[in-house]
């Protein structure tokens, strides 16, 4: 079984999330555990597709990941935004529309074997907008003595925002990068950037989980 | 198109760097905004704590003054009346005929003592500052001072009166009391005017005396002018401001302006 270096960050964050699960629940971040399980499973299957599925391409694994992870992320943002029931309904309604598009794209537009760049871009955009909303709301509402840097929700959204800004370009241009063999230091641009972005993302998650463990919600 | 690859790669990397830069900038701005917000909240909490402390102090001072006033009244007024009534009643002897006019006088003295005690009890009620508005509390205070006959105090009001918070009223009452005490102790004034001017959302109180005055700037610059600093600090705590204007031989004007909802 092949495990790439950024997957260790993923596994570590999952392990931390499981250890801190009680604290995560008190911060309404319990949904992070299924998200991380799905992330880890996707990466393991994506890296070992040849031995597991006996297929040459692994794009279908990531396409299914987009479909499965989107509802989980919308639930995560709904709990982090902590809005009125009306806000939650609006957010989940947007999630349903996005999910419908992902399914249509998966079955009818870009297909199952091709990498669904439209889906990836839409998810990245949604994540950027929602994490900006959560961060802004956090900055406006939080007036206790501990600063933003001590808030796990801040770290989760900060790394999500930065990761999705990078992903928006790299995943959106995935097909172009592959077809034109765009490389940096003899490494495919996608393979050069995304592992590092993933490592930063999961390090941020891990730090947020540690913060959850170290403090109680006020 | 291998020749254009480096340019495309650079452009993509540039776009990523720019986006990440803006992302980090956004996070930095949020953090700074939140820092300022928390700082403002902390300052507000500190101000509130000082306000509460001053409020407690003002209550204690009023209580202390009330006790002093009560002790003086009981000793000088009620005590005298009762002593007189006791002397009058002591002059009666069992074998002698009753001197009805004297008995009547003694009864009147006991009645006046009772009335005095009732008035005192009314003034002693801890809630009397809250139960009346600042104008009524001030009228009682003015009556008490003018009873001595050494000074004339007038209270005027302009504009439509509004209801202001009890805590603010208490602090304002203490400010005026402090001004009156200063006039009585140091100013050698014969007239004092306390003017209330009501503006929409703002109250201006001006205490003016025709006493000997003093160099206000110099006194305020010295640490000894504690009473004057107290007036200004208390005015600030109510969210308003205070100004003390005085010159030797020209009397003193204390102006306090406070906002209210």
Per-residue pLDDT of chain A (218 residues; tens, 9 = 90+): 778 889 999 999 999 999 999 999 888 899 999 999 999 999 999 988 878 777 778 899 999 999 999 999 999 999 999 889 999 999 999 999 999 999 999 999 988 888 999 999 999 999 999 999 999 999 998 877 788 899 999 999 999 999 999 999 999 998 889 888 888 888 888 889 999 999 999 999 999 999 999 886 54
B15-41: per-residue pLDDT in tens? 999 999 999 999 999 999 999 999 998
Contact call for residues A199 and A191 (beta carbons, < 8 A): no
B60-102: per-residue pLDDT in tens? 887 777 777 778 778 888 888 888 888 888 887 777 777 788 8
Interatomic CA distance for residues A117 and B103, integer angstroms: 112
The rounded Cα B67 to chain-centroid distance in angstroms is: 18
What part of A 123-182 touches B (C-beta under 8 Å)? 132, 135-136, 138-140, 142-145, 147-149, 158, 161-162, 165-166, 168-170, 173, 177, 180-182
Most B CBs within 10 A among A125, A133, A148, A181, hence the mutation to make, goes to A148
Q: Do A165 and B20 touch (CB under 8 A)?
A: yes
Q: Does A196 touch chain B (CB under 8 A)?
A: no
Pick from A139, A143, A180: which is nearest to B8 by CB? A180
B211-228: per-residue pLDDT in tens? 999 988 888 888 776 678
Taking the CB of residue B242, how many other CB atoms lie within 10 A of it? 21
Interatomic CA distance for residues B103 and B98, integer angstroms: 8
Count of domains forming chain A: 1
Q: Do A139 and B26 touch (CB under 8 A)?
A: no
**Global pTM value:** 0.69
Task: List residues of chain B with CB under 8 Å from any CB of chain A.
Answer: 1-2, 5, 8-9, 12-13, 15-16, 19-20, 22-24, 26-27, 30-31, 33-35, 37-38, 41-42
Taking the CB of residue B158, how many other CB atoms lie within 10 A of it? 11
Q: Which residues of chain B lie closer than 8 angstroms to A181, CB-CB?
A: 2, 5
Q: Which residues of chain A lie closer than 8 angstroms to B48, CB-CB?
A: none
Right CATH number for B134-261 from 3.40.50.20, 3.30.565.10, 3.40.50.150, 3.30.390.50? 3.30.565.10
State the nearest Cα–Cα gap between A164 and chain B, in angstroms: 9
Nearest CA in chain A to B16: A166
Helix or strand (DSSP H, E) at A165: helix A152-172
The rounded Cα A66 to chain-centroid distance in angstroms is: 9
Taking the CB of residue B96, how many other CB atoms lie within 10 A of it? 8
Token duo for residue B182? 């200063």
Task: Quote the ipTM score.
Answer: 0.83
By residue range, what is the domain housing residue A63?
A: 5-214
Most A CBs within 10 A among B2, B3, B10, B16, hence the mutation to make, goes to B16
Q: Which residues of chain B lie closer than 8 angstroms to A148, CB-CB?
A: 30-31, 34
């Amino acid at each position: 079984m092949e495990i790439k270096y950024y997957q260790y960050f993923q596994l570590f964050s999952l392990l931390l999330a499981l250890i801190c699960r009680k604290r995560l629940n008190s911060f309404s971040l319990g949904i992070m555990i299924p998200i991380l399980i799905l992330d880890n499973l996707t990466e393991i299957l994506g890296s070992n597709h040849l031995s597991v599925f006996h297929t040459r391409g692994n794009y279908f694994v990531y396409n299914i990941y987009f479909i499965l992870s989107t509802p989980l992320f919308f639930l995560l943002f709904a709990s982090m935004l902590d809005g009125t029931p009306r806000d939650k309904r609006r957010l989940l309604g947007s999630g349903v529309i996005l999910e419908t598009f992902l399914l249509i794209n998966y079955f009818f537009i870009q297909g199952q074997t091709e990498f669904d760049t439209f889906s990836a871009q839409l998810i990245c955009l949604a994540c950027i907008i929602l994490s900006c909303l959560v961060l802004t709301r956090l900055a406006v509402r939080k007036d206790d003595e501990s600063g933003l840097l001590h808030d796990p929700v801040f770290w989760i959204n900060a790394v999500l925002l930065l990761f999705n800004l990078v992903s928006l370009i790299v995943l959106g241009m995935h097909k172009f990068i592959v077809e034109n063999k765009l490389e940096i230091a003899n490494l495919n641009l996608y393979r050069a950037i995304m592992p590092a972005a993933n490592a930063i993302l999961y390090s941020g998650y891990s730090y947020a989980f540690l913060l959850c463990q170290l403090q109680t919600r006020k | 198109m291998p020749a254009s690859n480096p340019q495309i790669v650079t452009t993509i990397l540039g776009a990523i760097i720019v986006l990440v830069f803006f992302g980090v900038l956004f996070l930095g701005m949020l953090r700074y905004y939140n820092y300022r917000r928390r700082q403002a909240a902390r300052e507000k909490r500190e101000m509130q704590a000082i306000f509460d402390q001053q409020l407690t102090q003002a209550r204690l001072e009023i209580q202390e003054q009330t006790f002093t006033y009560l002790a003086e009244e009981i000793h000088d007024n009620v005590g005298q009346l009762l002593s007189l009534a006791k002397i009058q009643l002591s002059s009666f002897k069992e074998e002698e005929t009753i001197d009805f006019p004297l008995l009547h006088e003694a009864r009147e003295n006991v009645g006046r003592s009772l009335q005095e005690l009732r008035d005192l009890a009314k003034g002693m009620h801890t809630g009397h500052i809250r139960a009346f508005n600042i104008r009524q509390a001030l009228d009682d205070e003015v009556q008490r001072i003018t009873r001595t006959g050494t000074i004339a105090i007038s209270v005027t009001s302009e504009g439509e009166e509004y209801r202001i918070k009890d805590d603010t009223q208490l602090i304002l009452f203490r400010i005026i009391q402090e001004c009156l005490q200063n006039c009585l102790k140091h100013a050698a004034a014969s007239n004092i005017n306390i003017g209330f001017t009501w503006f929409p959302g703002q109250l201006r109180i001006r205490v003016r005396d025709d006493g000997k005055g003093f160099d206000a700037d110099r006194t305020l610059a010295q640490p000894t002018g504690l009473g004057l600093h107290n007036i200004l600090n208390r005015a600030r705590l109510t969210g308003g401001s205070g100004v003390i204007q005085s010159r030797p031989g020209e009397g003193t004007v204390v102006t306090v302006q406070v906002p209210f909802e």
